[in-house]
Structure 1
Amino acid sequence: MSGRVHLAIEHTLARVTLSHPGKFNAMSRAMWRELKTVFVELQARTDVRCVIVVGESGHFCAGGDIAEYPGFRFVEAALRDFHEDDVWGGLGAMLACDVPLLAQIEGNCMGAGVEIASCCDIRVAASGARFGAPIAKLGFPMAPREAALVAREAGIATAREMLLEATVFDAAEMKARGFLNTVLPDGTLTPAVLARAQRISALSPQAARLNKQALRATQGSTAAEGEGAYRYADSAEHREGIAAFIAKRSPVF
């Protein structure tokens, strides 16, 4: 099973659920493509006033589905297509969506999870949530536009610690660093996020869309693909990191 991105709409509220059972909702290629489809649809709708983005079964998203990686990551052109078309297709559609996006974060929020949360306007987390992007352990970097997005939303110092030290932060620390708007006790998140979404939905939808457009204009564009960003595709460290993860052993770099 490659996972799914589910869209449910009730009245003026939409819920986008990341679902990949047994993998803490890690993002597969199919899920990235579904994410784009879902947010293109939401952008086109006029009846939706707020979107909650949530993971299934107590976790937000644990990163990418590494089991898929040997099938495409070791060829530069295929690796570029994955990041620039699949991943950025989903993230870009979220960033272009003028409907307010509210992230409901529990459990693991790693790598791709941090990137998806970074696309949301308001981020609310349970106290037990954990955040990071420890992909240096897997022998590869974060793609340029994805790194720029995380650095912009989480702060450059936090991005450096996540990527260079493989640091994992708790929710309280991410709140202190400005990434999270609110941290709540475990088990209390769902009703609190719903109440917040309902408050947003009761306000002017036109004002919300125009405010998002204005705020987006102040941020400028996210950095485009750097020259040679995916030349590491066939490198020994890239292959070793992914092979070690799949084999459940420590990598040897």
Structure 2
Amino acid sequence: MTHGRMRLAVEGGIARLTFDHPRRLNAITAAMWRELAEMLERIEQDPAARVLLLDGAGERAFCTGNDISEFETLRSDPEAAARYNELQHVVADRMRGLTKPAIAAIHGHCLGAGLEIALLCDLRLCSAEASMGVPAVKLGLPYRAEDIIKLLDVVGEAAAREMVLLGRRHGGADILRLGLVHRLLPDQASLRAEAEAMAAELARNAPLSLAAAKVAFRELARRDGPPDLRLAQAWADRCYASADYAEGRRAKMEKRAPDFTGR
């Protein structure tokens, strides 16, 4: 029996993080949740990783959420569910706190917790074969307020109610209609090419500028209190004081591409 894992490779400024559990349609095990949290922290701390590109192994799925085969032993009652859910909370917090842009490249099924992770990415691309949904009501599971918030922030209340209450899967033009993705590509090859090109473009941008924008977006979207505008301004001030800002000005005057270092 093969066990799921998370794979991470950093090259050319791009941190490629892959759900690698194709036998279970890239469903996330408890061990994978722990790996994912650890790898997100590594990406945040690694100056060589300028952008996160998240995808799924194989031809059939991005990620189908939690591995239900573990629920009888790890999530069978409220107390066990609380312990299991804490694994997801850590990942969600680290995704929200990531100061590097994140892209989700979605091919095949993207369901439940897999969709929640994709919604925490800054940019979402999908192939025409992608399907997205929130099947909790068809499994007898609650779709918790903290998860509904992710949908509300991306698609708004009307679409969120449609997705959560009906529990249907959506594909193709419906994904665009609901506002779940930024771009729909014709096939998996086109998706990979576009995701790689977008990640490479982001990796060439000034890291501190990207981080300042991410912090500003995060604070302005806060639901647990007022935005920390002083924190957002502090990150903006880091940009003004940076060598990268000086490099950007010089490159513009010299009509060349800037070489940003993140300092």
Quickly name the TM-score band, shorter chain normalised: 0.7 to 0.9
Corresponding residue for 1:125? 126
How far off its partner does 1:222 sit? 6.1
Unaligned stretches of 5+ residues in structure 1: 224-253
1:185-207 per-residue CA deviation (whole Å, 9 max, x = no partner) reads 01311111101111111111110
1:224-251 per-residue CA deviation (whole Å, 9 max, x = no partner) reads xxxxxxxxxxxxxxxxxxxxxxxxxxxx
The 5 Å alignment of 1:1-253 reads 1-58=2-59, 59-83=61-85, 85-186=86-187, 187-221=189-223
How far off its partner does 1:147 sit? 2.1
1:40-82 per-residue CA deviation (whole Å, 9 max, x = no partner) reads 1111122211110000102200121000001132322211121
Give the root-mean-square deviation of aligned CA atoms: 1.5
CA contact (8 A) 1:145 1:222 kept: no
Give the alignment's TM-score, normalised by structure 1.
0.84
How far off its partner does 1:30 sit? 1.0
Separation of aligned partners in 2, 1:222 and 1:113 = 24
Unaligned stretches of 5+ residues in structure 2: 226-263
Between the aligned residues of both structures, percent identity stands at: 31
How far off its partner does 1:156 sit? 2.3
How far off its partner does 1:12 sit? 0.9
Give the alignment's TM-score, normalised by structure 2.
0.80
1:107-159 per-residue CA deviation (whole Å, 9 max, x = no partner) reads 00010111010110000000110000112111111233122122222322222
1:61/1:156 Cα in 2 relative to 1: closer, same or farther (>3 Å)? same
CA contact (8 A) 1:33 1:86 kept: yes
Separation of aligned partners in 1, 2:25 and 2:156 = 25
